[in-house]
């Protein structure tokens, strides 16, 4: 079967399409014939060699994908060959025609969700769910600022928060992105490239500020986020690409909390609960993954360059 292999950490040119042996399912495992795999920014950090996770070389990148069950190992009685599924992490990587997974990380994909959409479920939606409901403890009726509402995690968070009865203020860097965030449930959208755009958050909330902020670029925004946070507000740092200086007094005077989060820290039981919620949302139509671009597996390098460019409009996926 074909798979993308990385033999040395480096730029996107180290992603090479190769022929490798097809995986076989051991006890408790499943082989999935993938139709699409999701490209996440974290895949680029790992490939470059500057992420805390450094897989032994050579490796196949990717944690997200969707397809059909090709084979099941002993002791697997929850999945059947031929079933449509999405995967939430893989033993052998998902930038491949087939992937080996622990059965607990393979979840049903409803008929109305395409394989390309299914490839955009795991990291974006599980991260958004974890940030909203586990870390920020967001509640219906609260107001949330999704700071970066146009990318994979931001669109997922916008759909999840609006379906749960929060009032969403989203931000995007392009007109098209802001229109998309609004279509997916943001009540108001702001341009995070415009000067002084955050003062509009105070106008929109009658000076009170927002209860929750999901932050996709903390090194740029964290200090100014605290200016638009209501008393007892919570910020969840999801994305960060550098250092930032903050004035802790702003958190102090609001009894505010700043939470970090890393999807990889989620326990097995919390992950099962998150995917049960996501499965229900995919089934009832409140969760609708948005695919901005589909590329063939052979163009993984182009996908890695594109996922770091501004102007996000949902997910980039590779078709296998």
Cβ-Cβ contacts under 8 Å for 106 (sequence gap 6 or more)? 30, 32, 69, 79, 85, 86, 87, 88
Q: Which residues of 294-309 are buried (b: 16+ CB within 10 A; e: fewer)?
A: bbebebbbbbbebbee
Q: Which is nearer to ligand NAP, 1 or 261 (CB)?
A: 261
DSSP 276-302: HHHHHHHHHTS----EEEEEEGGGHHH
Q: How far is the CB of 49 from ligand NAP (least distance, A)?
A: 16
Q: How far is the CB of 92 from ligand NAP (least distance, A)?
A: 21
Q: How far is the CB of 198 from ligand NAP (least distance, A)?
A: 10
Token pair, residue 260, equals: 């970090």
Q: How far is the CB of 249 from ligand NAP (least distance, A)?
A: 23
How long, in residues, is the chain?
A: 320
Q: Which is nearer to ligand NAP, 187 or 293 (CB)?
A: 293
Q: Which is nearer to ligand NAP, 104 or 292 (CB)?
A: 292
Residue in the shown chain whose Cβ atom is closest to ligand NAP? 151
Q: How far is the CB of 252 from ligand NAP (least distance, A)?
A: 24
Helix (H) or strand (E) holding 307: none
Q: How far is the CB of 105 from ligand NAP (least distance, A)?
A: 16
Q: Which is nearer to ligand NAP, 152 or 281 (CB)?
A: 152
Specify whether the CB–CB gap between 151 and 312 falls below 8 A: yes
Q: How far is the CB of 238 from ligand NAP (least distance, A)?
A: 5
Cis check: omega of the bond before 58, within 30 degrees of 0: yes
Whole-number Cα distances in Å, 250 to 54, 169, 226: 37, 21, 6
Q: Which is nearer to ligand NAP, 229 or 307 (CB)?
A: 307
Closest CA to 209 of 260, 159, 145: 145
Q: Which is nearer to ligand NAP, 239 or 281 (CB)?
A: 239
- Mapping DSSP to helix (H, G, I), strand (E, B) and coil, where does residue 155 land? helix
Q: Which is nearer to ligand NAP, 134 or 254 (CB)?
A: 134
Interface residues with ligand NAP (CB under 6 A) are 40-42, 123-124, 127, 147-148, 150-154, 171-174, 177, 192, 216-217, 220-221, 238-239, 261-263, 307, 310-312
């Amino acid at each position: 079967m074909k798979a993308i292999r990385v033999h040395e950490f480096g730029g996107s040119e180290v992603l090479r399409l190769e022929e490798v042996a097809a995986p076989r399912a051991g006890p408790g495992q499943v082989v999935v014939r993938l139709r699409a795999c999701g490209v996440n920014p974290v895949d680029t950090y790992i490939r470059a060699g500057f992420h805390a996770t450094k897989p032994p070389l050579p490796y196949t990148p990717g944690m997200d994908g969707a397809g059909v069950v090709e084979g099941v190992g002993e002791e697997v009685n929850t999945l059947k060959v031929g079933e449509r599924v999405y995967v939430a992490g893989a033993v052998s990587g998902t930038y491949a025609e087939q992937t080996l997974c622990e059965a607990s990380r393979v979840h049903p994909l409803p008929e109305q969700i395409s394989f390309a959409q299914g490839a955009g479920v795991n990291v974006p939606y599980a991260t958004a769910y974890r940030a909203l409901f586990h870390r920020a403890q967001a509640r219906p009726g609260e107001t949330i600022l999704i700071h970066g509402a146009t990318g994979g995690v931001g669109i997922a968070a916008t759909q999840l928060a609006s379906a749960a009865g929060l009032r969403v203020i989203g931000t995007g860097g392009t007109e098209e992105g802001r229109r998309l965030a609004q279509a997916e449930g943001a009540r108001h959208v702001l341009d995070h490239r415009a000067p002084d755009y955050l003062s509009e958050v105070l106008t929109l909330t009658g000076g009170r500020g927002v209860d929750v902020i999901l932050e996709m670029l903390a090194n740029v925004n964290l200090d100014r986020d605290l200016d638009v946070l209501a008393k007892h507000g919570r910020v969840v740092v999801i994305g960060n690409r550098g250092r930032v200086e903050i004035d802790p007094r702003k958190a102090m005077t609001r009894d505010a909390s700043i939470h970090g989060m890393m999807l990889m820290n989620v326990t097995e039981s919390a992950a099962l609960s998150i995917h049960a919620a996501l499965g229900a949302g995919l089934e009832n139509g409140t969760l609708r993954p948005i695919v901005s671009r589909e590329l063939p597996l052979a163009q993984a390098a182009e996908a890695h360059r594109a996922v770091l460019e501004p102007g996000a409009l949902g997910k980039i996926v590779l078709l296998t």
